[in-house]
Structure formats: C-alpha cells, structure tokens
Structure 1
Amino acid sequence: MTEVISPPRPRRATELMLLLGAVALTLGADLLGTYTTTGALESTAWVPLTVFGCASLVLHAVLRLRARYADPFILPIATLLNGLGIAMIHRLSADTAAARPTSQLAWSVLAVLVAAALVFLVRDHRMLRRWPYVFLAVSGVLLLLPLVPGLGLSANGARIWINVGVGTFQPGEVAKITLAIFFAGYLSTNRDLILLAGRRVGPVTFPRMRDLGPLLVAWAVAMGVLVFQRDLGSALLFFGMFMAMLYIATSRASWVLLGLSLVAVGAAVAFLFLPHVTARFEIWLNAFDPEIYRRDFGGSYQVVQGLFAMASGGLLGTGLGGGNPTQVPLSFSDMILAAIGEELGLVGLSAVLVLYLLLVTRMVRAALGVRDAFGKVLAAGLAFTMAWQVFVVMGGVTLVLPLTGLTTPFLAAGGSSLLANWIILGLVLRISHAARRPAVVDGMVNASGPGAGHLDPGAALPEPAQRPGLRRAAAPAGGEAR
C-alpha cells in the first residue's frame, strides 16, 4: 500500500492572524504607556504603530506572492518585538529628549520595506553563493569606513559610526551580514578539504596550518575592530559568528578549541594593553566598588542603576509608564532590557526572551530543512548571530558578562541595527521557503522537507521516462501495484 504524503500548506492565513495580533498588542502597549505617562491621549496616538503595522502587511503580501511557503511565525514574532521597542521608546521620550520615537518608527518602516524588497528580488538564496569574495571585499570596505577621516565619528570611546548627512549609520551592522554570506560560501565550497586534511592527536583531528587561514583572518578582523574601532561588542559578534559557522560546516570540536584559544589570547592582550577593555572588565568584576561607581568615564553607574531598576520592577513590574527607567543612562538603547524589566517585571522580561528563543528556533528550523550546504550554513549562522547578540546584551545588563554596547535586536533604538536585522529575516524567510515548499516524489508533488521545491505545485511535470533517475515500478502479475 502506497503512503501518500499530503503537500505542505503555505499557512499564510496563520501568519496574517498572528501578525494582526502582534500589531494589536504593540498598539495597546503604546497607548497604555502614553496614557500612563501623560494622562491623556491625542486623537492621532494610534497612527505610528498602525503605520508600522501596514509596513509589516506589505512584507506579508510579498511573502504571499514570492515565498508563500516561508515560515509563518518569523514575521509576527519580529513585528511584535519591533513594535514593543517603538512603544517603549515612545514611552521613554516623555522623560528624556534623547529617546526619539519618530526616528525609530521611520527606520522600522524602512527596514521592513527593504526586507520586502529583498524577498521580492532574490528569487533563490543560492545566487548569493556566486560572489563570495565580492561580499568579503564589501565587508572590508564597510569596516574601514568609520576610520576614514572626516567620515567616521567617535562616541563613547568607540569609532563605529559614519556621517551620512541626515544622521549617522553603523556600517558594521551590515558587515556582519556580508561576512556571513562570505563565510557560508567559503565553508560550503571548501568543506571537504577542511574535513579530510589534518593531523589526528588522540580523539581530536586538528586542521593543517594552511587551512587555518580563514580562522586566523577572522581573529585578525575581530582584533582589528577591537583595537582600531575600540568596539568590544562587534569584535565578540564577528568572531563568535565565524566560529559557529565553522563548527556547523565541519562538526569538528578541534576548530572550537582553536577558536577558544585565540579568544583567550585576544582577551588577555586586550585586558593588558587596551584601557577601554580594561575598564569594561573592572566594571564587570567590581561594579559596586565606590571608586569605580563614581568614575566620570568608564564607571559602573550605568550597569548598577540597571540592576536597581530591574530589582524595583520585581515579578510583575511597575506597569508601562509607572517606573523611572530614565534614571538608567541610555535606557532607550543599550539598557532597554533594564527598562523593560522595571516596567514589565520578571514576567514581561522573560516573555521577551521567550520571543527571541522562538524566533531563533524558527530560523534554525529553516536551516535544518533546506538541502543545500550554503543555505544551511548561512541560516544557522545568522540564527546563532542573533542568539549570541541577545545573550551578550542580556549578560552585560545582568553583570554575567562585561557590558559591550551591542544593541538588542529589534527592541533598542538604532536604525542601523533595525535595518540589518530585518535584512537577516528577509534572507531567512527566503531560505525557509526553499526548505518548506513541495518536492517532487515519484512524479507527484506530495512531499515536503529538506531540499523541497525544485518544482512548484502547479508546474507541469515531464513524463517519468523523461526524468533521469526515476523509473515506473511495474505492477506484480495478477495484482495491483503496492
């Protein structure tokens, strides 16, 4: 008896219902925070989040047209996180002029539309594999731009921004995407060479020196960002991303051991010879030391105030608009998780972290489902990058790790980060469509799974005899085919 596998459903209706629910939740949070803070609501208070919701619906419509089998949960989760960030920044703007909700809204709409354009124009993610060294060259240019005199800008000791006339932009946020594409293309092409060549020492096989080139280059790039741009967060992000993609491509623990050794060497050198890194470690180790707490620059005032804010929120929080999160410096950007912890409590902050967990899980699911090695490494690497970034930010806010200055994806103020993270989602949505769309099995479009989608459901199929590798099974004599 032949088992017939039903074709996968696009589930775009599910996505639409979840998306409308996400927009409604963020709109309610924005109105609640505004009313609690100001005691009144303007007649146009509903407009900002509605505009953002319309942009998300545009991306939903593009998915219906171009990637109808894409994961139905990624867009609603990202919309909920982004909308919550806009609502929180709007609430904080009542107490500090540094929080600019209009700018955050404009960047959010632009980022969602760029993701929609990416899904519409890139019909197959594998086309990005054709130009790995072009993406490497673009990455190098992006990382060097902040060091150009007259173009680069320095703030809070880091030189990671450039002046684009109408504002500032952080090229490193886009560089992490182009580097991920290069790493995925290089590793998927050279995987066999990396796996087969090497020397075995006990249970561990170590690669040849000539194959250590990419690892050393990634380490040098991370150290260069740390030394010249004075940006600890980006250095950790770039090297961590490459190590994760290398392990995903090879499944060799020896690469991880070598990478951790390089990280240890880099951390020791940075701690001993780079004052700004030394200050970050001193804050981490002795945050409540009065001398470190009272420093004008490089002190622990910010992180300690963040801890007090989350402690005052308790289990359920003070409610949106009911706390004093602006007592924490940069509560709308670097420390927005502390602001959420104060006003939404442990329950609300845990819910936000669960949303990130679900988002990363769906991204990993797309990586597991797609057949080609390039798509697997790219989607898994981007998923790890987002998870690693959230972990580093949350670790810095809670003093589990040194504070790095990385932005919380989708939540924190920052147009560069929003644009980069929505581009990442656009790429993953395209990969998930390739993973979930129907495959051709025995002449019928009746299965889904890894590598599905060489033919669309409505495409005309050639005769079985014309397709190499497929032969019609002959029915046994005197009976039906089983």
Structure 2
Amino acid sequence: MIGNRVRQSFMLIFIFAITALGLFQMFMRINGTIPSRYMLPLTVMFAVIVAVWVVLCTFQRYSSQLIFFCVILLSLIGITEIIRIDHENRTRGSGAINAGMNQIIWLIIALVICAALSILLRNYRLLRKFSYTSMVIGILLMFSPMVPGLGKTIGGARIWIGIGSHTVQPAEFAKLFIAVFFAGYLFDHRDQLAVGGRKFLRMRLPRLRDLGPILIVWALCMGVLVLQRDLGTSLLFFAMFVCMLYVSTGHSSWILIGLVFFGVSAAAASRLFGHVQNRITAWLHPFDDSVYTAVGGSEQLVKGIFGLSSGGTFGTGLGKGHPGITPLANSDFIFSSLGEELGLTGILAILSIYLIIIAAGIITALKIKDGFGKLLIAGLVFTMAFQVFIVVGGITLVIPLTGLTLPYMAAGGSSLTANMILAFIILIVSNDAHKPQDDKLTDTVAMEALEALQANEKRRALEEAIEERDQRDAAPRGRHVFTRDSHPAAGAEEVSEPAETREFPGMDAEERPAASEGDSPAATDSTASGISASGSPAPDTPAVSEEATEVIDLSGERKEEQ
C-alpha cells in the first residue's frame, strides 16, 4: 500500500509539472511574463487538489486513483486553455475575459464538495434507499428553469436559473439524481423486466405495470427538455435510460427498441421544432452561403472546423493560435481550440485520457457484485462517454450540434461540479469493488446484522401487538383459555397442546364442564364431548347439541365442527 501511495504521489507531481510547464509556456508567449493575479488562485488550487487526494486515500483507500488523476489532468488542461482564450478575448475586446479565474474557483468548490461526499458517503448502497426521493429532486431540478423570475433564456435555450450575478444549469445535476433513481428502480424490478413480459418478434417485453413509473419519469424529462429547447441533454437522458435498461435485463432487443424510439423522435422533432431543423440543415450543408449567413446558421460550426484543421499534427503551440475567432471557444467549442493549439497529437492524448476513465469505470462495473452499484456505474460511465461522443461528433460533423459541453474541460461551473461529483461517485463504488475480501465481508456482515436486528425488533413488536389484541378480544367473552404456563399438568419434559378455547352450545356458563386439577386437557376435551378417557361414553354427561361447535386456536382462526 505504501508503494502504491508513493507512485501515486509521483503521478500527482507529474500532473502539476505538466500544468505548470503549459502555463509558463503560454504566459511567456502571450505576455512575456507571468501575471501575478493568477499566482494565489493557482497555488490554492494545487493545495486543494493535494488535500482532496489525501482525503480520498484516507476514507476511500481502495478506490481507483487513476480516475481521480485523469479527471484532474483534464480539468487543468481545460483551465490552461480557458486562460489563454481569455487573453485573446481581452486583446480583441470581445468575449469573456475572466472565465479562467472563474473556472479555477469552480474547480476548488467542486473538489471541496467531492471531498465532503467521499467522507460522508462511505457506503454507496445508502443511495438506493433514496431512489424515489432522487426522482422527485431530479424532476424539480428539470422544471426549475420554467419558473418565472428564476429561469433565464441564453442562446435560445431556457435551461439556466439565475442566482445573483451567476447562472446555474440544473440539468447537469438532475442527471445524477435521475441516474440514481433509474439504478434503484431497475435493480428492484430487474426480474420482472427480464422475464415477466410477453414475447413480440422474438423479443421479450416487460409488463407495462413494471415499466410504467420509469417511462413516466422519462416522458416528463423529455417533455421539459423539449420545451426548454435543450435537445442535447434530452438525447443524453434517453441514451442513459436505454443503456441502464439493457444492463439490467441483458436483452439486446432494448437497444433496437431504443433506436426505433430515437428515430421516430428525431423525425418528429425535425418537423415540429425550428431550432432542431436549423441544426440539421447546418450539419448537412455547413458551407452553403445561405446557411452560413443565416441567423443560427453554420458560421460557428465552420469556424470551429477551420480552427481544428489548422492545428495539423502537432498544433501551433499554446499561445500561438487564434482560438478566439470561434464563438464560444472556451465552452462549446473548446475541443476545436485545443485541436488548433495542440494538434492531432494533443487531441488523441486527451481522448485517450477519457478512454482510460471509461475503461476504469467499466472494470469497476464488472468487478462489483452488487447489482445496484453495477447499474449505477454503468449509467454514469455511459453518460460521460456518450457526452464526449456527442460533443466531439458535433464539432467534427459526425452528428448535428447539440449544445453540450466537453466534461471537465469546458468553461462552466455547473458542468464542472456535476461531472466531478459523477467521477467521485464512481470512485466511491470502485472503493467497494477493489476492497479486499475480508474487509468487504466484514462490512457486508455488519450491514446484514444491523438489518436483521431491526427486522427482529419489528417482528417482536408485531407479535406482542397481535398477542395483546387476541387477549383483549377473548377476555370479554368469558372463555377459558388453556395455556402451557397456567396448566398444572404441563411438566418440563412434555409439551402441552396449543391453547384452545371451546364453546358448548346449548349450555349456560354454570353448566359448562371445568377441568379439575388432575385432569389433562385431553381428558377434559374428551369429557366435554361425551367420551371418557378410556373410550367409553362418560356417565352423566350432558348431550351435546347437533349444531356446529366453534373452536378458536391461538392464531385466531375459526373452525366448524359438526
């Protein structure tokens, strides 16, 4: 373990060295000196990263540290490029000029939140108990931009809420809560979803009552996102839904069903919504003059393509390109900016880092034995991977632009914080997946023992309540109850029959036979029915009427004897 920590510390030092070298090179090229206003924030940021790593090693010591280092490296590369774009915007007199400083502050905030999460959430299985609560929170977050006075429309999409002078995109956090709900619900109903439905064209479909709640949640999310004109996030939610459904059931038919639903939805959206049609037109005809000059046309896309292509194999170098020409170069098109200054080599290296995170997440999902954790990791990892594909595919003309941003690298506090929490949830689950068997068994046994004790207390309280109710119901009727404790003939070595209460129709309470001290319950019962213990008719025994006799046993059930 000590050797691993030493190697990890050297990896962290290497990441800091790469970042410092990139910042130094960039500042010397654009300024000739290092601005003093960045010294303190960068120092605090590096100190917070080290502190969070120590917390992670202490409270999640078996987690996959490689994921943490990759996420930090991507975030620092993004901050370096954002600071560089700020300088160009300041020179040109347009665009954001403090996005880099804001990104540093947001990274510090995100890391502090994640450190607290790794301390408080020691067992990720607790999230399963709040599945439906997560559903409600996720839906409220999705609806929040629609509240008058709270939501803001930026770039034609109403997906923001204003908090003072800052804006937050609640859909970034909603995807985490919806993923927890999907994982909890699909885990609880995995058997019904897998084998409980009918077969249609060799595909087994689930029953509607099993799939109904999750379809309702998905429909609500889709409706809100379409109304907010944010089709990128709606596509992300739909893909996460299909992926987790496939992992839960193991039926590849769900992928085909998802593709059919996606095709129908895309065709309908392209006809019903003008902004969707504009993006498809810009994707199909980006270099057409009428499309390029139109409002909301392909100008941004074409500038991003030319910027990406100008980087060549090794790029122009940090500080030597012109990424500020492309609109939203520090957020939606930061991939194009990085491609211009780092070239194809740098872009492939960045995509390889994403691939390492995805591979580590898949390994965690395969190693974890808990079904809820497997579904949760699969959904979160696929969400991040699909988001990277959508962004890179949109900039390279593989698919239409959707408005999503590159995780960990694009400017934006909401995206950075939400994706950092996503990564730390994967780390927390990986801690359980990579934990040695002895420690894992100890934690499992402790949880099972606690649940067993709680269930035993509930069962005992229920039995006491039932016993009190039976005694209360039997007392006013004047019935004699034979119990093992009250019967003098019940010895230590013999077990008496269950307590019985007998009624003798046609007889008053004074005429009913009573058991003497020496009689056993069997003898008393025989006498009461007119038969002696030896099998002969008992003398002077009143005749029992032909009507039914009620027998009430300890469980309170009534039987009819003729």
Q: CA 1:211 to 1:195, structure 2 compared with 1: closer, same or farther past 3 Å?
A: same
Q: Tell me if the contact between 2:394 and 2:401 (Cα under 8 Å) persists in the aligned partners.
A: yes
RMSD between aligned residues: 1.8
Matches within 5 A, 1:233-382: 233-295=232-294, 297-382=295-380
Aligned to 2:59: 66
Matches within 5 A, 1:28-177: 28-43=21-36, 45-96=38-89, 97-99=95-97, 100-177=99-176
Aligned to 1:473: none
Q: Tell me if the contact between 2:192 and 2:206 (Cα under 8 Å) persists in the aligned partners.
A: no
Distance 1:275 1:10 in 2: 59
1:39 CA drift (Å): 2.2
Partner-residue secondary structure (3-state), 1:454: helix
Kindly indicate whether residue 220 of structure 2 is the aligned counterpart of residue 221 of structure 1. Answer: yes
Distance 1:27 1:110 in 2: 21
Q: CA 1:44 to 1:231, structure 2 compared with 1: closer, same or farther past 3 Å?
A: closer
1:217 CA drift (Å): 2.7
1:15 CA drift (Å): 2.6
Distance 2:22 2:369 in 1: 41
Distance 1:127 1:16 in 2: 31
Deviations 1:357-399 (A, max 9, x none): 0011111222112111111110111000000000000001111
Q: CA 1:45 to 1:98, structure 2 compared with 1: closer, same or farther past 3 Å?
A: closer
Partner-residue secondary structure (3-state), 1:408: coil
Q: Tell me if the contact between 2:160 and 2:167 (Cα under 8 Å) persists in the aligned partners.
A: yes
Q: Tell me if the contact between 2:193 and 2:211 (Cα under 8 Å) persists in the aligned partners.
A: no
Partner-residue secondary structure (3-state), 2:87: coil
Q: Which one of 436, 439, 442 corresponds to residue 455 of structure 1?
A: 442
TM-score between both structures, scaled by the size of structure 2: 0.75
Partner-residue secondary structure (3-state), 1:306: helix
Distance 1:260 1:221 in 2: 20
Aligned to 2:508: none
Partner-residue secondary structure (3-state), 2:153: strand
> Which is further off, 254-263 or 270-279?
254-263
Report which structure shows greater RCO (CA 8 Å, sep ≥6). 1
Distance 1:190 1:14 in 2: 43
Q: May I ask how many residue pairs the two structures share in their alignment?
A: 438
Q: CA 1:433 to 1:280, structure 2 compared with 1: closer, same or farther past 3 Å?
A: same
- Can you give the 5+ residue segments of structure 1 that lack an aligned partner in the other structure? 1-7, 441-451, 460-482
The percent of aligned pairs where both chains have the same amino acid is 44
Q: Tell me if the contact between 1:14 and 1:72 (Cα under 8 Å) persists in the aligned partners.
A: no
Q: Tell me if the contact between 2:139 and 2:221 (Cα under 8 Å) persists in the aligned partners.
A: no
The residue type paired with residue 339 of structure 1 is: S
Distance 1:47 1:429 in 2: 29
Distance 1:333 1:210 in 2: 42
TM-score between both structures, scaled by the size of structure 1: 0.88
The residue type paired with residue 282 of structure 2 is: I
The residue type paired with residue 68 of structure 1 is: R
- Can you give the 5+ residue segments of structure 2 that lack an aligned partner in the other structure? 90-94, 447-562
1:215 CA drift (Å): 5.5
Aligned to 2:385: 387
The residue type paired with residue 255 of structure 1 is: W
The residue type paired with residue 76 of structure 1 is: F
> Which is further off, 300-309 or 358-367?
358-367
Distance 1:270 1:9 in 2: 56
Deviations 1:35-84 (A, max 9, x none): 21122223565444332222211211111221111112011111100001
> Which is further off, 84-93 or 56-65?
56-65
| Rg larger for | 2
